[in-house]
Structure 1
Amino acid sequence: MSAIALIGAPGSGKSTLGPLLAQRLDVPFVDVDAVIEEREGRSIRDIFADDGEDAFRALEATVTLELLTGSGVVSLGGGAPLTPQIAEALDGVPTVWLQVDAHHAVTRIGLDQGRPLLAGGGIRGTLIALLKARTPVYASLATVSVDTNGREPDALVDVIVAALEEA
């Protein structure tokens, strides 16, 4: 089995649904951000603060491209699909877009200060802007699109598995 990519905005459910989907499919799960943090020995927030977003995006691209060549469920960072090399690498990879609106995303995220692009207050407004900018990209890359708003994880995994089988 090749990789299955999960894409979506912060709060869309990638970290929750990814392990459940991998378990259901009996494949490994890997979160790109977790791999970056492990390899770098520091948090994504610290990488942003110390090295800047451009340096983080370069690191993210390297790790994402590597992980997409493997197998299992790969949870991408919310902004990863905007990187041209990553978008190109997703061509031919089953890609599940976990759709979420700003209200549900904020409810799930809370005041998570570990997300650098959402730090500094105004999380809802920032999410609305991110969703507006990223939605066309997510839509263009998705093999499968699933609305996660107000739905239980196990039910969503059922929907994703069925959709992947049909795709």
Structure 2
Amino acid sequence: MATTPLVTFIGAPGSGKTRIGKRVARHLGVPFIDTDKRIVAEHGPIADIFERFGEPHFRRLEREAVVAALREPAVVSLGGGAIISADTRADLAKTRVVRLVVSAEAVASRITGGKRPLLGAGVEAWKALVEQRQPLYDSVPSRIWDTSSRPIDHIAEEIAEWVAADAGISLPTSVVTERGSL
């Protein structure tokens, strides 16, 4: 890949990949890409894709979105199941990856609303999904942050600082002045 993202977020549904990823992108002064949102914009709601065409079809669309996103100099958030693909895991091995983790207690209020087709049974379904994917999640991250109880703004600032230091880039002046001195 000619260009790669500054950082890619992975993690279970409800771990905060989109919310924190947007903040990190803002701190770094780069675009933010959410692969699930790209799929929705092009193909409609994910729950509808699952219902009409099945999970294998969705995973093909997801892989296409991941390939495109990983070619862009941005902060990228992958859907919770994107790491199921061995090709995606191989691509992620070449990039800076943050895995966000969250406790079952903290995620309970985050996964309501019916937009997550594999979580119809709520927290118990989430726990089973995380347990099943655990080895895959563990296989690719560069760093891990827990989003269960800490303020997401603090987590985003820490991640932006780490990415900037690891990539050898300076944070935009506006970020440095937000906290006085990073």
Q: Which runs of 4+ in 1 moved over 4 A?
A: none
- The root-mean-square deviation of aligned C-alpha atoms, in Å, is 1.4
Helix, strand or coil at the partner of 1:11:
coil
- Deviation of residue 134 (structure 1)? 1.6
1:93-132, aligned counterparts within 5 Å?
Answer: 93-109=95-111, 111-119=112-120, 122-132=121-131
Q: When the two structures are aligned, how many residues end up with a matched partner?
A: 163
Give distance in 1, aligned partners of 2:29 and 2:4.
13
Larger Rg: 2
Alignment partner for residue 16 of structure 2, among 6, 13, 18? 13
Which residue is equivalent to 1:137?
Answer: 136
Contact 1:14 1:75 in 2 (8 A): yes
1:161 counterpart letter in structure 2: A
User: TM-score, normalized by length of structure 2?
Assistant: 0.85
Residue deviations 1:101-155, cap 9 Å, x none?
A: 111111222x220111012xx2111111111112221121001111111111111
In 2, Cα distance between equivalents of 1:148 and 1:137: 19
Q: Are the aligned partners of 1:94 and 1:143 in contact in 2 as well (CA < 8 Å)?
A: yes
Identity of aligned residues (%): 36
CA distance in 2, matches of 1:105, 1:156: 16
- State the TM-score, normalized to the length of structure 1: 0.92
Q: Does residue 84 of structure 2 align to residue 82 of structure 1? A: yes
CA distance in structure 2 between the partners assigned to 1:88 and 1:112 by the alignment: 33
